[in-house]
Structure 1
């Protein structure tokens, strides 16, 4: 069987043991603080990012360079790969896929490199990666693996709850006045990221109503897919909140597989902030 190596970016938030098991290579995005660049998850962590934001420092992000992708392609082939599959964060959130594609065009073995824009982020992208790994283990060709990932994308998404509107203001999703009023009222928005679009679905003041809405939304997904969904949870320094979410989802969706994922990555934490919780889902296929 031909050897395939996967390359992902740092926003996927994959557990180190999973990376090691499948020899997955990771290309970090950049977190830029007052003009100084740090490698996401390598030179800067969630705690650092949140402290810089709280201090009022200018915190921005940038994609990896094409050169960094070329080095990873070289490494994969030098270590015996026959093919490389490179999956990236959604192109609507980052230009990472363009760097990966540019590096592919520069490479002497570009026909053996498959670059794919997941149109997903973090725990959702991680779940799509896992469908690709499963297909690889079944002996599928890289082109078939990409098609399987594409097929799963329409039935995946992420639901988030933020404890402040500041980060939606930061990303341009709400106006400064709405964020100010919302924060005064302690509004907790529920945000949907699906089909490469970000939408504010609801705004709650009660923590109990937030959890109830998460359960209702996931019950709708369960009914739509006849129970064949898998959920994964994540958070930004909100272990108590995400544990409570796990409890209410487990009670409200008996029989559904619910997993606890890694904490949301430093770069993504910029847009979610401390206290944020998330659930991603994917359709379980035969």
Structure 2
């Protein structure tokens, strides 16, 4: 069986990289002033955040059923027998449940893995799926493996401004105003299904330190039995400069010297809610047959 691996841009994987790895990709739609754009296709990180901070009406959406099924049909026309599709977590978007519903028309040839991840942890799932497909695993087997390992990950995100959380109803206007005056920066966490509050600190520098401490605690408790070679650390950010991104990545390299560390921009689905200059960090435990 020839199994295709597919994901969306919430994984941090963009078209050029997906093409180079032989992974199929569907871009996530972004609506700006009632016009639909697509992450990584006709919408760059710079233009997205300029729109978000420039007073435009910005929201994200799930792929249309037609676009999703057209891509599946195209993959089969290219000679693949099965598809394993890894969308963002069902707890963060309806795109996963929509894909599951649409897949029923394909008589088991399209398998949707709801492994409750997004961003850097979702990327690890996609890379793992690719290795499994190359090893001859079926789409159904890959789905079962990914879903069994779903919660072997954590994400923490530090928000520089409360403005966009206020717009999304996650913090009151009064709370946002007070936070701005006191320079309070919230830290959010994603432990599978949803974005939750984790901690508050003063200043982004302390936020970064707090997140590193949280990830070290996860490593020493939840993931204490994992070999360093099977720990992936993902640094992420929203509209960071190259210097800021490299500094953040290096901070994590120093904190986790024996693990693989990389950097990805946060997806627009997250950036839309947290705004620019946010910092993210994720940890994933890889399967023993995943070769870094």
Quick check: TM above 0.5? yes
Equivalent residue, structure 2, for 1:280? 282
1:115 maps to which of 112, 116, 122: 112
Equivalent residue, structure 1, for 2:268? 266
- Indicate yes or no: 2:206 matched with 1:209: yes
Q: What is the alpha-carbon distance in structure 2 between the residues aligned to residue 170 and residue 183 of structure 1?
A: 15
Q: What is the alpha-carbon distance in structure 1 between the residues aligned to residue 249 and residue 165 of structure 2?
A: 25
Shift of 1:18: 4.1
Report the number of matched residues: 282
8 Å contact 1:64–1:99 — kept in the other structure? no
- Indicate yes or no: 2:160 matched with 1:163: yes
Equivalent residue, structure 2, for 1:87? 86
What TM-score, normalized by structure 1, do the two folds share?
0.90
Structure 2 residues without counterparts, runs of 5 or longer? none
Equivalent residue, structure 1, for 2:124? 127
Equivalent residue, structure 2, for 1:145? 142
Q: What is the alpha-carbon distance in structure 2 between the residues aligned to residue 172 and residue 91 of structure 1?
A: 20
8 Å contact 1:45–1:266 — kept in the other structure? no
Deviates more, 1:156-165 or 1:52-61: 52-61
Shift of 1:75: 0.6
What TM-score, normalized by structure 2, do the two folds share?
0.89
Shift of 1:85: 1.0
Q: What is the alpha-carbon distance in structure 2 between the residues aligned to residue 140 and residue 24 of structure 1?
A: 16
Equivalent residue, structure 2, for 1:236? 238
Q: What is the alpha-carbon distance in structure 1 between the residues aligned to residue 286 and residue 26 of structure 2?
A: 28
RMSD of aligned alpha carbons: 2.0
Equivalent residue, structure 1, for 2:69? 70
SS at match of 1:159: strand
- Indicate yes or no: 2:40 matched with 1:38: no
SS at match of 2:49: helix
SS at match of 1:154: coil
Q: What is the alpha-carbon distance in structure 2 between the residues aligned to residue 278 and residue 145 of structure 1?
A: 27
Equivalent residue, structure 1, for 2:258? 255
8 Å contact 2:5–2:133 — kept in the other structure? no
SS at match of 1:64: coil
Q: What is the alpha-carbon distance in structure 1 between the residues aligned to residue 274 and residue 160 of structure 2?
A: 9
- Indicate yes or no: 2:197 matched with 1:200: yes
Structure 1 residues without counterparts, runs of 5 or longer? none
Q: Per the alignment, do residues 176 and 131 of structure 1 end up closer, same or farther by CA in structure 2, a change over 3 Å counting?
A: same
What does the per-residue CA deviation read over 1:70-106, in whole Å, with 9 as the maximum and x for residues that have no partner? 1111111100101111111122222212332343234
8 Å contact 1:50–1:273 — kept in the other structure? yes
